[in-house]
């Protein structure tokens, strides 16, 4: 067999038997990392609940999580605080 059906269209190869186990382990690690970072963000703000805002902060401030989840829209996540450097007050350093 050449991997083609009777109609001449090619078929996709089957997924290995270990793929669901690998996928479950990958998702478990991803969720554990995300929840740890979100709980740290909530704790920093003296909150006891993880809200979508803290999930958003955890994802956007972590480079590893921002790569796969960069295009994800989180409902009620709001936006990241960002002040451009030009708008910040200038600090005068006094020379001694």
Domain spans in the chain, listed from the N-terminal domain onward? 19-78
**Can you identify the CATH homologous superfamily of domain 19-78?**
Histone, subunit A (1.10.20.10)
pLDDT in the model for residue 96: 55
14 pLDDT tier (thresholds 50, 70, 90): confident
pTM: 0.68
Backbone angles phi, psi at 4, to 5 degrees: -115, 145
Over residues 22-32, mean pLDDT: 95
Candidates 50, 65, 47, 58; CA nearest to 80 is 58
Quote helix, strand, coil % in the chain, to nearest 5. 45, 0, 50
């Amino acid at each position: 067999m050449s991997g083609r059906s009777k109609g001449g269209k090619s078929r996709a190869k089957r997924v290995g038997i270990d793929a669901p186990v690998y996928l479950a382990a990958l998702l478990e690690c991803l969720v554990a990392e995300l929840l740890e970072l979100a709980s740290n963000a909530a704790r920093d703000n003296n909150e006891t609940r993880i809200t979508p805002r803290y999930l958003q902060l955890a994802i956007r401030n972590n480079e590893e999580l921002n790569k796969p989840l960069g295009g994800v829209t989180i409902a009620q996540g709001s936006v990241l605080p960002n002040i451009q450097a030009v708008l910040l007050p200038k600090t005068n350093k006094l020379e001694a």
